[in-house]
Amino acid sequence: MANAPDTPPLADVPPERRPAHIAMIMDGNGRWAQRRGLPRVEGHQRGASVVREVTELCSDLGIGQITLYCLSSENWKRPAEEIEFLMLLLKQYIIDERESIMRNNLRVRMLGRREAIPDHVLAELDKTIEMSRSNSGMWLNLAINYGGRGELVDATRALAAKVRQGLLEPEDITEETISGHLYTAGLADPDLLVRTAGEMRVSNFLLWQISYAEIWVTDRCWPEFDEEALHEAIRAYASRDRRFGGLPDLA
């Protein structure tokens, strides 16, 4: 639906009906390229430009945080040449987006295991995170070498170590305790999970955090995801009745 002149985007959706946190499984870069007879890397390059566009759109809409599934712990199974290209693309994205990150007052956070990520990539990522530390705008969470099961393993190990050291009693472990030991500690859980390329699975992404997230799937591949698709996802979210296991309000 096109906006009338001077009408703000999503004017029909009040801020309180919009998701505060959107998580995105950015799928279909390779398929988008192959359908056009292009190398898979062309799809990844186009996907990186969409990340920039979507990040700025979400920031302009007042979304509190977005979490992007950049590289899963399973993606290392891909051909070495593709992984090497993805690492270089990630590094270049992190460098190129610093000006936009600072201009849009974004805060950057990495979610995932640091091992296996090349040191030269980590160095640039850490620099960008440090630069944005004093910002107060939207959180841009980059899930890199991320796996939901691995995250739960890491949290369990941290809790077990505290129990062994006498710092924590097993009976004192609660859902809040576990949440506080995840990569996302201190961040709100996603309200909306968006998945592109039509796949009906969560692919080991934020398994704990999306327990009550609304899920919206589009057949568009990630390089085709645009402002129209983002608005469609937010409108779908706004139309749903989130009861969190309770009964609908019949008043």
Looking at residue 80, which CATH number applies to its domain?
A: 3.40.1180.10
Angle between helices 80-96 and 119-131 (to 10 degrees): 20
In a domain, 60, yes or no: yes
In a domain, 217, yes or no: yes
Please tell me which residue in 75, 126, 154, 226 is annotated as part of the active site. Answer: 75
| Unique residue bearing structure tokens 């296996």 | 116
- Residue 54: its pLDDT value, please? 97
Q: Is 75 a catalytic residue?
A: yes
pTM of the model: 0.92
Q: What gap in Å lies between CA 239 and CA 44, rounded to an integer?
A: 32
Q: Known binder of ligand: residue 214?
A: yes
In a domain, 6, yes or no: no
Q: How many domains does the chain have?
A: 1
In a domain, 117, yes or no: yes
Q: Which residues of the chain have a pLDDT value below 50?
A: 1
In a domain, 169, yes or no: no
Q: Known binder of ligand: residue 109?
A: no
Please tell me which residue in 6, 12, 27, 104 is annotated as part of the active site. Answer: 27
> How would you classify the pairing of strands 65-72 and 107-111?
unpaired
In a domain, 44, yes or no: yes
Show the domain range for 111. Answer: 17-147+190-238
Count of Cβ atoms closer than 10 Å to residue 74 Cβ: 12
Residue 220 pairs with which residues in a beta bridge? Answer: none
In a domain, 170, yes or no: no
Q: Is 27 a catalytic residue?
A: yes
Q: What gap in Å lies between CA 82 and CA 33, rounded to an integer?
A: 14
- Residue 1: its pLDDT value, please? 46
Cα-to-chain-centroid distance, residue 211: 15
In a domain, 12, yes or no: no
Q: Known binder of ligand: residue 246?
A: no
Count of Cβ atoms closer than 10 Å to residue 136 Cβ: 7
Cα-to-chain-centroid distance, residue 147: 12
Strand order in the sheet with 192-195: 107-111, 139-146, 65-72, 21-25, 192-195, 214-217
